[in-house]
Chains A and B, each alone.
Chain A
C-alpha cells in the first residue's frame, strides 16, 4: 500500500481557508489525479492533504448575472447531465463526456481539471474559447482570473498557495457557436493527443470574435492568435480554411511524448481545424 499523507476535511469554506493560511496543504477535489500521483509516487508528494469534498459551497451549476457558473466540485457526470450546460454550453458537456469513463466522470471535477493544469486537460480549451474566468478565493477575499491568464506555465497556475478555485464563469453568448473536438487513441479512457475548441459569432456572412484554443500541443492549454486573425472577419470558405490550416500548423510547436509525436499532433491539428471549418461552412 502507498504511504498515506495526513488529510483534513473542513466542513465550511472559511474553515478551509484557515487551514491554507496555517500550513502548506495540497487541496483535493475528486482525487482522480492526486490519488494516482500518491499511489504511483509520481512527482512531489503532498505533505498534507486538504479534502474539499464536503464543501457544498463549491457545488452546483447555475445561471447568474449573465453567466453560466459551474461550481468547482461539479463532476463531469453532473456537467454532462446539466440542462443549463446543455442549453448554454453544450461543448462543455461534450468535453466532459470524453474524459475517462463513468468511474472517472463520477468523481473528477471541473475545478480539479482547471487547477491540475495538465496541458491535456480536456475541458480547458473550452474555457479559453468560451472566454471563461476562474474565481479564486481565500482569506484575503475573492478574485477573478481570465482563463487566458490562468495557466502560466507547465502545470503552473495563477492560484496562490492560500487560495482555492471556487467556480468557473462562462459569459452567456447566445449568438456564438462553440465547437469541440478531441483526438485520442480510442473513444473512452484516452488522454488526448490533440483537443480543440473553436468559437465564433456570425455577422453578415463573416465570423467575428473568433477563438481557436488547443490542448496537448504546448506546455499549457493555448489560444492561437495568428490563426484566429486569419479567421476574424472571414467566411468559412475553402480558401480561408486552407490558409487557416497552414497557419495553425506553423503556429504551434508540439512535442514528441509517450502519447504521440510532434508531427502527428501538427498534422491532426491542421486536419481537425480544416474539417471544422468545412462543416461550419457547409461545403
Chain B
C-alpha cells in the first residue's frame, strides 16, 4: 500500500512538473497579447481577470509590486505560524502537533491545488459562479521563452500588477481560509479525512464564493458606456449584486466558519466534553499566535487594495483601530460578565476585531472602523458564550463563534459605514469614469440588504457543500479517530510524535 502511494505521488509530481513546463511554453501568444497593446484580441488563453492594457501598455509600478509581495509574505506568516500557534496553544498538549500539522499541511496542499487549478477556477472568465480553465497550471501567466510577465488589474485604471504576484497573494487567502476550518473539529478528526475534506471544500466552496464576490473584468475593461452591461455580466454573481467585501468577510470568514460548524456537528463532540478538563495548554503561545495574526492581517487587509495607495492606507489604519477597539471591548465585556479580563479574552477580542473589519477595511472611515471593532468585541464574546450554548455543537476553537459571528457582523456593518454620510468612501458607481456614488444617492438600507444577501448566499452555499463533503469523506474514509486514539492524543496516534518531551 505504501509503495503504491509512493509511486502515485512520484508519478503525479512528475506529471504536474511536466504539465507546468508545457503550459508555460505553449502560451507565448497569450503572453504577447497581454504585454502588447491589442486589448481586444480574443486569443483562447486571453481571458485573464484583467490584463487588457490600453495603448500604451501599462507597466507594473515597483512600489505596488513590492508592497503586494510583502503583503503575500504577511499572510503566509498569519497562517504559519500565526494561526497554527493561536490554535495550537488552545488545545491540550497531547494534540498540539496535530493542530500544527493540520494547519500547515492543509495550507500547503491548498496552495499547490491553487497553482494547479484553483487560481484558474476562481480568477478567470467563466460564469457567474465559477471561472474557467484559462489559467490551468498557471499557463500564460508568464512567458519563459520571451521573458515577459502577464499583468493583472488593480482597482485603478491603467494600473497593473504582475499577475504572478496577484495569484500568489490570492493563494495565501485560499490556504488560510481552509486552515481556519481546522479549529472546529480539532482534537478528534482523522488527518486523512481533514485533507480529503479540504480538497472538496476548496474546490466547491472556496473557489466559487471567491469568484462570485471578487471576480470582475477590471477597471480597464470599462472603456465606455456601451460595454458596461456586457462587462458586468462577466463578473461574479455577488460582485454583480454590488456586495462589498474588501478582504474577505464572506469569502474567508463566513465561508470557513459555516464549514467548521457543520464539521463540528458531523464529527461529534469530543470524548469527555463538558465533564473533563480541556483547558488550553499554552495561552502564551496562543497570544504569540494572535499577535502574529494581528501583524500579518495588515497584509491581508491593506494588501487587498492591490496597490500601495490611499485605500491601502485606509485599510491599514482601519485594521489597526478596529482591532484595538475590539480588544478593549472584549476585556470590558468579560470584566462585566465575570469580574476578570483574561488573556484569552484579549487575544480573542483582537481576532474578533480583525475578522469584523476584514470586509470593511477599505470601505469604511476610521470612526466606522472603531465602531465596528468595538461592537465585534462584544459580539464575539456572545458568540463563544451564549451562542455556543444555543448551538450545542463542540466547535473546539470557536471558529463559528468568532469568525462566523464577527464575519457576519462586519459584512453587514460594511453596508452601514460605507456610506459617505457616516465617513465612508462609498463605492464606485460608474467604472467608466471611476466616479464614486454621492452621499445623496447612497442608501444604507439598500446596501445593507445587498450585504445581507451576500451573507445568506455564503452561509447556504458553504453549508450545503460542507454537509456533502463531510458526508462523502465519512463514507469513504471515516471522519473520526478511534476512542483509544482520541484518548491517547492525536500527536502520538496520528503523527507518532510528542510535542513536549517529558
Say if A and B assemble together.
no
